Chain A
Amino acid sequence: MIKKLFAAVLLVFMAVMLYQLYSNITEKSGLSEVARGYAERGASELGTQNIVTSIVVTYRGLDTLGEVSVLFIAATGVAVLLRRRKEDEPAVTSAKRQSSEILQTGTRLLTPIIVMFGVYIFVNGHLSPGGGFQGGAVIASAVLLLFLSDTNYKINHGLFNIIESFSGAFYVLIGILGILLFGANHFLDNRILPLGDFGTILSAGAIPVIYSLVGLKVGTELASIIDNMKKD
């Protein structure tokens, strides 16, 4: 009882604190100087239709590289913590119940479509809402569906590791290519490839390439997180 009361008091303090922050909100009437610069230059300078993508992949590309690294480190941490130890008692091998036929048939029907949709999302990241992270998450959900429908399903670790390593390495290489071609201030510059026609799928220079690599990397990483968590 006293703990609940204590929690309630803390919660009231938290609400008051947040409300203090809220009371300073004023209705925005225009973009800030930074956002205005991105909005005005994004289309002509980088050839992206989606301004958010131009910020995430190019203007703030280094942050995105860091973000991918954080996800990679988290996936590694999950794998290290959940790896099978020899001294652990062997997992109880009670016979797992087969999934229903509806789920199995639905999985066979839907998995290719879900993977294709994920690829569509990250290939169109510079034109429409979406991008590498979202597309990767969709692809990982297809792997989750495979795990749900077949209790003995195993992912091909060798293939996944190769895809993940190569996409990460190529992402960094594309960034370094910008430095080599244009100078020190151009890490992850997307103009190493021709910008193409504005609004078509082969436009915005290296952004579709980078987002495809990010999508593959995120998809395989999330899939291996799922795989590690379901092992027992």
Chain B
Amino acid sequence: MNIIHVIGFILMLIGFWGMLTQKNMIKIVLALAIVETGLQLVMVAFGFIKGRTAPILDSTELVKGAADMIVDPVPQALVLTAIVIGVAVNALMLTFVIRLYQKKKTLSITEYKDLKW
């Protein structure tokens, strides 16, 4: 466990707190984006191996002994995908917020009671 794991952990908790307590829908979307950021940090940190370098083979020693000199490239590829999907999800959620605002002219989530029982 290193410092990046801890930062990711804290960011995820901040994001969850924001989603649970905020009333403004844009702030809720931003809180989810913060959770995503924390999760991505944690995922990249899982691939870290002490004393190794980035998975870019720009010298002949690195090409020969790649498997023993680079950090894990798989979580990095995974996070690249996760970031793009995160952007797509955030864009779609903000669009819903815009549409809801056009209907009711308010951003407060407490005003939307249609699905509440």
Binding site for B on A (CB under 8 A): 3-4, 7, 10-11, 14-15, 18-19, 22, 25, 27-32, 34-36, 38-40, 42-43, 49-52, 55-56, 60, 63-64, 67, 70-71, 73-75, 77-78, 81-82, 88, 127-129, 131, 133, 137, 198-199, 218, 222, 225, 228-229, 232
Q: Could you tell me the distance between the alpha carbons of A22 and B55 in the complex, rounded to whole angstroms?
A: 25
5 more A-B residue pairs beyond the given contacts A7-B20, A14-B13, A38-B74, with a C-beta to C-beta distance below 8 A: A28-B49, A81-B99, A225-B91, A229-B94, A232-B98
B1 at interface by CB-CB < 8 Å = yes
CB contact list, B74-111 vs A, under 8 A: 74, 76-77, 80-81, 83-85, 87-89, 91-92, 94-96, 98-99, 102
- Complex interface: chain B residues within 8 A of A232 (CB): 98, 102
Total chain B interface residues with beta-carbon distance under 8 A: 45
Q: Are A49 and B58 in contact (CB under 8 A)?
A: yes
Task: Pick from A22, A28, A67: contact of B81, CB below 8 A.
Answer: A67
Which of B1, B81, B89 has the most A CB atoms < 10 Å from its CB?
B81
Q: What is the distance, in angstroms, from B61's C-beta to the closest C-beta of chain A? A: 12
- Complex interface: chain B residues within 8 A of A18 (CB): 9, 12-13
Quick one: closest B residue to A89, CB to CB? B102
Binding site for A on B (CB under 8 A): 1, 5, 9, 12-13, 16-17, 20-21, 46-50, 54-58, 63, 66-68, 70, 72-74, 76-77, 80-81, 83-85, 87-89, 91-92, 94-96, 98-99, 102
Q: Are A60 and B91 in contact (CB under 8 A)?
A: no
Interchain pairs with CB closer than 8 A, number: 137
Task: Pick from A42, A55, A70, A225: contact of B66, CB below 8 A.
Answer: A42
A4-B21, A27-B50 as given contacts; A55 in contact with B88, CB under 8 Å: no
Q: Could you tell me the distance between the alpha carbons of A183 and B58 in the complex, rounded to whole angstroms?
A: 32
Quick one: closest B residue to A7, CB to CB? B20
- A-B CB contact pairs (8 Å), 21 listed: A10-B20, A11-B16, A11-B17, A27-B50, A29-B49, A31-B72, A32-B74, A38-B73, A38-B74, A40-B66, A43-B57, A50-B57, A51-B66, A52-B77, A60-B77, A67-B84, A70-B88, A73-B88, A81-B99, A82-B95, A232-B98
Q: Are B55 and A50 in contact (CB under 8 A)?
A: yes
Q: Could you tell me the distance between the alpha carbons of A198 and B58 in the complex, rounded to whole angstroms?
A: 10
Q: What is the distance, in angstroms, from A13's C-beta to the closest C-beta of chain B? A: 10
Q: Are B67 and A25 in contact (CB under 8 A)?
A: no
Q: What is the distance, in angstroms, from B39's C-beta to the closest C-beta of chain A? A: 10
Task: Pick from B50, B70, B81, B96: contact of A63, CB below 8 A.
Answer: B81
Task: Pick from B5, B17, B54, B73: contact of A25, CB below 8 A.
Answer: B5
Q: Are A51 and B5 in contact (CB under 8 A)?
A: no
- Complex interface: chain B residues within 8 A of A39 (CB): 55, 66-67, 70, 73
A7-B20, A27-B50 as given contacts; A78 in contact with B73, CB under 8 Å: no
Quick one: closest B residue to A37, CB to CB? B67
Q: Could you tell me the distance between the alpha carbons of A12 and B13 in the complex, rounded to whole angstroms?
A: 9
Q: What is the distance, in angstroms, from B8's C-beta to the closest C-beta of chain A? A: 9
Q: Are B70 and A82 in contact (CB under 8 A)?
A: no
Task: Pick from B1, B67, B72: contact of A22, CB below 8 A.
Answer: B1
